[in-house]
Structure 1
Amino acid sequence: MNEFAIFWEWLAFAARWLHVVTAIAWIGSSFYFIALDLGLRQRPELPPGAHGEEWQVHGGGFYHIQKYLVAPATLPEHLTWFKWESYATWLSGFALLAILYYAGADLYLIDRTVLDVSAPVAIGLSVASIALGWLVYDLLCKSPLGRSDTGLMLVLFAVLVAMSWGYTQIFSGRAALLHLGAFTATIMSANVFFIIIPNQKVVVADLKAGRTPAAILGQQAKQRSLHNNYLTLPVIFLMLSNHYPLAFATQHNWAIAALVFLIGVLIRHYFNSLHAGRGNPHWTWAGSVVLFIVIIWLSSEPETLDGLAEAPPSPVAEAFMASEHFPAVRDTVMGRCAMCHAAVPGWEGVRRPPKAVALDSAVEIAERAREIYLQAGVSRAMPPGNVSGLTEAERALIVTWFEEVRR
């Protein structure tokens, strides 16, 4: 048994598990504090410097919360910081990006019908684009444009649309939407690391030194926190998009991603308005539904999926194709899997190949050797319910083929 392939698969699972858990912690605390901030109430008896207060009930007890817009007159001994949720989410996400897309660049990151580059070049473009995104965003926020929340958000949306289109011109569709999510999530986490927490630390240091903290520090942190609030829902969609080929494997995937940002803004506007006591703008839900219908319509024109078969096989794929077992494996996969995993699926009710994986060519089968080994050889995940009747002898053949080549 190829222990390394199995170990790598579990490593990816562990990284994904950690990423989901930390993201839940970060998003949960972010949503909570935005709702708390918008729900604050003012009254004459508040302590000096207090901006508002709120009473909450949860877990059988009552909580009395007061917010100071800059800082209280005296600093309490115990102060809870919210930062590691953000840092751990980004670190685990980048680890998952490296495990899946960098280590598997030839399969997941690169589409040679889009841009024929080597794995190191593709990885370099990935890292550079993610870092550049934060630099451009930070400069825009610190520019005179940053004084206008509306103007800044419009320019940032234009940047995200441009990056959405740009990524589809460099990477595979699956990697393009994933990278747009990483691009946006990096901005969000960097906001915490470079602006929100440092500004709060300056405020704490000023208080300890007996100085009055500058109000601009809190204003900057609040602006970045607001941006994070509006970007959260689109990022979640983009991170999940790699499981849905109608999102990433269509001609208009970049436009779908752009519309998702608008849907996210509309939904957050509804909840922000509700929490702030500014009414229930139900029109935001109608707008979201209309945009989602447009997304469904845009996804109806499929992306050409036979490009990889026309491209020359990678060195790894050539090794699998040179195996004496390959002809039998190829016939098995085409007979048991290609009725669904084909550019034009023949199985009733299947309109697109699952996960945009087409196994109706020798090159594609060789390129997907590791996935076939894990999904149909070592495990029984494929075919679903063994509907095509893949035999134990055929599964053993797949295992033998993969392990002899990767020995």
Structure 2
Amino acid sequence: MPGIVDCHVHVNEPGRTTWEGFWTATRAAAAGGVTTIVDMPLNSIPPTTTLRNFQEKMATASGQCFVDTAFWGGVVPGNQLELRPMLQAGVAGFKCFLIHSGVEEFPHVTIDDLHTAMGQLQGTESVLLFHAETDLPLGSVEKADPTEYSTFLRSRPDAMEIEAIRTVTQLCLQYKVRCHIVHLSSAQPLALIQAAQRAGAPLTVETTHHYLSLSAEHIPAGATQFKCCPPIRGIANQELLWLALKAGHIDMVVSDHSPCTPDLKSLTSGDFNQAWGGISSLQFGLSLFWTSASLRGFTLPDVVRILCQRTAQLCRLDNQKGSLVPGHDADLVIWDPEKEFEVKEACIHHKNKLTPYLGLRLRGRVCATIVRGRVVYHQGSFSPVPLGKQLLIPQEKHRRPLQPGY
């Protein structure tokens, strides 16, 4: 199969390399059949919000990557004059937050910031990615038990996503700049997204493996390894996400690999309010997806479209990644769709082994991963040296722009 393109990965290097780094993240990717990752601009110090910071990121990644790596830039208040230079230097596009990002170095944007940024991006082939949650006045949850997952879930209701996505659709229609909703957790805003697309908005949307594989009803008290933002919601919502994916209303599925050190997960207290929000899954995305998707009538061509082709299109790498066609890079994953295995700590290649998938039995085992014709992973062993390269995205008009829906 074509190698997987995971366009939503937090590597966190430089600055928070104890959380994750390019060496460990890209080995985990290779072990999971991922041949290309796109690194998110935040959680590293400095964040990828200026040309200088982007250059520092690339220098840090040099010689450390076992798979090919591209980079997102970031939109934060006041960096609008850095966007065009970062685009010229080769970032795949930009990400912003409509709510606190979780780290102080990457502040969220205001509506005024977005108008300014979109003005800068008009006339380019770039894309603006949105963490689509917004603060809303909520009822008091202070007295509720912070170790109960339901307490955390009530603090991040569907309405936060709905209102944020309403804002995104309006901006997308106004500026006609390509926009993308990252990690959709709630099925409720899908009607807004579809209406905007019908009106001509160049808008796409992704969901993640954890929203499709995990459900609120099955998260034990104090199990903070399940915390992420937006939150994992209930089974009924999950089934609606699967139906939307089947119908083509969700374009792609990614890992949103967002690891941290175990102490930041507040495992001892089990306090969901205090724990870092992020899930480690980069190595297991293909198996997680196939385990559930194969039971819902998805076929192998569906897997290729959702995990390889659509993700490559988003970051304008589909002229070389995501498909097995002449002229593309020879990026391959060889895997056994019938083979089952248990997720054990000893087999995890992420830097920190904490993941909600420990002990889970999955279907679909990766045998080998090949990047540009060279074997980087085979049956538990890696190439002696990293063979991945940095992917810089040219700014000429792309031949096959991503169209929302099917």
Give the number of the structure whose residues are more often helix, by fraction. 1
Give the number of the structure whose residues are more often strand, by fraction. 2
Q: Output the TM-score relative to the length of structure 1.
A: 0.29
Q: Output the TM-score relative to the length of structure 2.
A: 0.29
